[in-house]
Amino acid sequence: MKKIVTTALLLTCFMAFSQQKTIEQNVDALLKRMTLEEKIGQLNQYTGDNAATGPITINPNKQSEIKAGLIGSMLNVLGTQYTRQYQELAMQSRLKIPLLFGQDVIHGYKTTFPIPLAEAASWDLDAMELSARIAATEASASGIHWTFAPMVDIARDPRWGRVMEGAGEDTYLGSKIAYARVKGFQGKLGDLNSVMACVKHFAAYGAAVGGRDYNSVDMSERMLWETYLPPFKAALDAGAATFMNSFNDLNGIPATGNKYLQRDILKGKWNFKGFVVSDWGSIGEMINHGYVSDSKEAALAAITAGSDMDMESNAYRYNLAQLVKEKKVSIALIDDAVKRILRKKFELGLFEDPYKYSNPEREQKELNNLEYRKVAREIAAKSIVLLKNVSPPGREKSILPISKQTKTIASIGPLVKERKQNMGFWSVELPEVDYDKYVISQWEGLQNKVGNTAKLLYAKGCEIEGDNKDGFAEAIAIANQADIVILSIGEKRDMSGEAKSRSNLRLPGVQEELIKAIQATGKPVVVLINAGRPLIFNWTADNVPAILYTWWLGSEAGNAIADVLFGDYNPSGKLPMSFPREEGQIPIYYNHFNTGRPAKNDNESNYVSAYTDLKNSPKFPFGYGLSYTSFEYSNLKLSKNKIKSTEKIEVSLTVTNSGKVAGEEVVQLYLRDKVGSVVRPIIELKDFQKIKLNSGETKTVKFIINKEKLSFYNANLQWIAEPGDFDIMIGSSSADIRLRDSFELMN
């Protein structure tokens, strides 16, 4: 038997090797036949004319340029009909090199999943991989070869609107999610239901000064390596086919022209064999940065630094040939970039069949698969975070879950009957989808759940923005008729996302005043907060007895929210970002250093690192989320309390569901390196497990601590684990540590 397995394994490796060899031979043979203009054409990407995800440069000659082999890729071209039309133009070119079609399939294609920050709150890596897998299946059935995802930017500043697109503030969680999403999107590259991933934005884009999009980033190399680069490396380890560089300058050099990032780290140290696409117009924007004087210098800086493909700036199109003729750019650099791109086109099978992904029958089948909506509903429910659930004055029980026998329910707020708002930013705008039918509103979710047993009352109450309170009276009136009130408020879907930085994170308009007015009726109130980022809602958090953070949950939002509201799904989400009390606390993140004068508690401020006018702690901490049940942690055991760097510690503990209903708990393992050659965070997430427990059930949870989990970058950028004492903390959040112990790493 063993011999058969070995032979099969050897055969598989040989076949893979020989396939790669064939691809290399094909790439080299094609390259030899290409003119300089055709080579530069492969480095050129334009948007389709149906949609824009950046400042458009009008080019009426796209079609003729495709036929002349002067464009290698398009983005924002959706559907088999349009991709086939453009591909047919490419097949009229001299060498018939197929186009690559890229698209921002960030959280679903037709079936829309929760925004990535919401999915991150599920801490369910399998669920996130599955949602990316379905997104890839739908997108690839619509002619898309390549998604500009996952976005893996670590973000500690909720003023930055693009926090909605990533996995939050933590490097360990962000790295695990990056890996899962790449695996989900790509599956096996070249398969019919696979799309190339594009890891973005390389690098450190989330650290923009002031949380202002596109702004400068300045940080130590150690911070870059320790906090911001690991998710990119995890995505690369997952086999990511492409990277996208970022708009920001990093320590004074724009990422698009940053040789250290793209050649020294990515293509050098990390040995990345795929290709790098610029962000929209980012090559030409180096002129605005003041890093180059004109488009020609921009092209020189970008190609030299390792940007292989130019998205929408035209810098390569109009300058590279001249730069080669002037011997300022070697043809070897051009050839390297072209080969990286051609390699992927061969790997995808596009030379064998340029229309492989543009099959209308498959598109029809895949884009109407109701199974995908079921998955969307499940992950949406898992993404909801229960922030608060206490019994209101005069009531024994907490409000949630709401009994299905409730007679009269008032549903109030500007987002109750919205449909498309639930899609969040970066949902794919499909021309033929009528969102007003396609997305389950929160009102429809209520009707589906209890429409036959409860009397449902509705009032909008107010708009999301503006100071008009005319709707308050109607809202109060229906609240007074109800047994319970569900208030759905928040942002608009496009108040977070790209170029959506906000200096004020409070609930917009008069929404919190509406909450106060409804609360004043004395009725039990549940508040749903729909947003793409952490918001500030201190009065609500302090006074309303039940709060669910519902983010933007996609196509099945209404059903998923109803599943949680009525207990058909026990909420299990945990915050992937710290929620500030005030903007003045930002940047705020859990894994900070201790400083020389740490505040012992939230109220100390005399000669310690604290605010005199505000508590230090966040309103809601990283890793926080409640459940309808409760979990007891016990029996923490370490196999050793002293280890050498070659050894590992087996950690075990038991978790019991001490409540009355089944539920899931994210058991979080944190470490603290007590003393280091550079200061170390007071707490760092190093592992987690999401477990499901029935009421009364106990499970043993096991972790392994090895040298990798004890390592960090020292002042010389060496990745090392230093001998010394470590604290181990097992928690239900970063601020709810249930079990502690310590151990020593010996020399």
Q: Which of residues 58-77 bind ligand GLC (CB under 6 A)?
A: 75
Bridge partners of 276, per DSSP, are 243
Read off the DSSP letter of residue 569: S
Nearer to ligand GLC, 275 or 549 (CB): 275
Q: Which of residues 486-505 bind ligand GLC (CB under 6 A)?
A: 498
**Pair 202, 228: CB distance under 8 Å:** no
**10 Å Cβ neighbour count for 29?**
9
Nearer to ligand GLC, 166 or 509 (CB): 166
List active site positions.
279
In the complex, least distance from residue 462 CB atom to ligand GLC, rounded to whole angstroms: 33
Distance CA 142, CA 80 (A): 5
Cβ partners under 8 Å of residue 424, min gap 6 = 107, 112, 114, 115, 118, 164, 493, 496, 497, 532, 551, 552, 553, 554
Among 487, 620, 494, 505, which residue's Cα sits nearest to residue 552?
494
Which ranges in 205-285 belong to alpha helices (H)? 221-223, 230-237, 259
In the complex, least distance from residue 615 CB atom to ligand GLC, rounded to whole angstroms: 35
Q: Which of residues 161-220 bind ligand GLC (CB under 6 A)?
A: 200
Nearer to ligand GLC, 279 or 684 (CB): 279
Nearer to ligand GLC, 53 or 605 (CB): 53
Cβ partners under 8 Å of residue 359, min gap 6 = 80, 141
In the complex, least distance from residue 280 CB atom to ligand GLC, rounded to whole angstroms: 4
From residue 528, alpha-carbon distances to 398, 547, 564 in Å are 16, 6, 11
Q: Which of residues 575-614 bind ligand GLC (CB under 6 A)?
A: none
Q: Which of residues 520-579 bind ligand GLC (CB under 6 A)?
A: none
String of contacts with ligand GLC for each residue 273-292, x by CB under 6 A: ------xx------------
**Pair 196, 348: CB distance under 8 Å:** yes
Token pair 């038991």 is found at: 654
Which ranges in 664-734 belong to alpha helices (H)? 707-710
In the complex, least distance from residue 46 CB atom to ligand GLC, rounded to whole angstroms: 11
Say if strands 455-459 and 642-643 run parallel, antiparallel, or are unpaired: unpaired
Q: Is 53 a binder of ligand GLC (CB under 6 A)?
A: yes
Nearer to ligand GLC, 412 or 423 (CB): 423
In the complex, least distance from residue 103 CB atom to ligand GLC, rounded to whole angstroms: 8
In the complex, least distance from residue 130 CB atom to ligand GLC, rounded to whole angstroms: 22
Q: Which pair of tokens denotes residue 232?
A: 């990119």
**Pair 733, 621: CB distance under 8 Å:** yes
When binding is defined by CB under 6 A, the residue of 148, 172, 579, 590 that contacts ligand GLC is 148
Token pair 């994210």 is found at: 666
Nearer to ligand GLC, 280 or 551 (CB): 280
Bridge partners of 726, per DSSP, are 673, 743
Q: Which of residues 625-684 bind ligand GLC (CB under 6 A)?
A: none
In the complex, least distance from residue 430 CB atom to ligand GLC, rounded to whole angstroms: 16
Torsion of CA 20, 23, 28, 32, to 10 degrees: 180
Q: Is 41 a binder of ligand GLC (CB under 6 A)?
A: no
Q: Is 425 a binder of ligand GLC (CB under 6 A)?
A: no
Distance CA 234, CA 183 (A): 11
Distance CA 489, CA 507 (A): 8
In the complex, least distance from residue 156 CB atom to ligand GLC, rounded to whole angstroms: 19
In the complex, least distance from residue 53 CB atom to ligand GLC, rounded to whole angstroms: 3
Distance CA 731, CA 737 (A): 4
Considering CB under 6 A, how many residues would be counted as binding ligand GLC?
9
Distance CA 408, CA 629 (A): 26
Q: Which of residues 78-107 bind ligand GLC (CB under 6 A)?
A: 104
Q: Which residue number places its CB atom closest to ligand GLC?
A: 53
- Ordered strands of the 642-643 beta sheet: 642-643, 736-745, 724-733, 663-673, 684-693
Q: Indicate the helix (H) or strand (E) that contains 126.
A: helix 125-140
> Would you call 467 exposed, middle or buried from its count of C-beta atoms within 10 A (0-12, 13-18, 19+)?
exposed
In the complex, least distance from residue 309 CB atom to ligand GLC, rounded to whole angstroms: 12
Nearer to ligand GLC, 279 or 512 (CB): 279
* Angle, helix 171-186 to helix 230-237, in steps of 10 degrees: 30
Nearer to ligand GLC, 45 or 319 (CB): 45
In the complex, least distance from residue 241 CB atom to ligand GLC, rounded to whole angstroms: 15
Q: What are phi and psi of 481, to 5 degrees?
A: -90, -10
When binding is defined by CB under 6 A, the residue of 54, 168, 508, 571 that contacts ligand GLC is 54
**Pair 666, 689: CB distance under 8 Å:** yes
Nearer to ligand GLC, 217 or 544 (CB): 217
Nearer to ligand GLC, 75 or 400 (CB): 75
* Angle, helix 557-565 to helix 370-383, in steps of 10 degrees: 50
Among 691, 728, 547, which residue's Cα sits nearest to residue 620?
547
Nearer to ligand GLC, 74 or 384 (CB): 74
User: Which residues of this chain interact with ligand GLC, rule CB under 6 A?
Assistant: 53-54, 75, 104, 148, 200, 279-280, 498
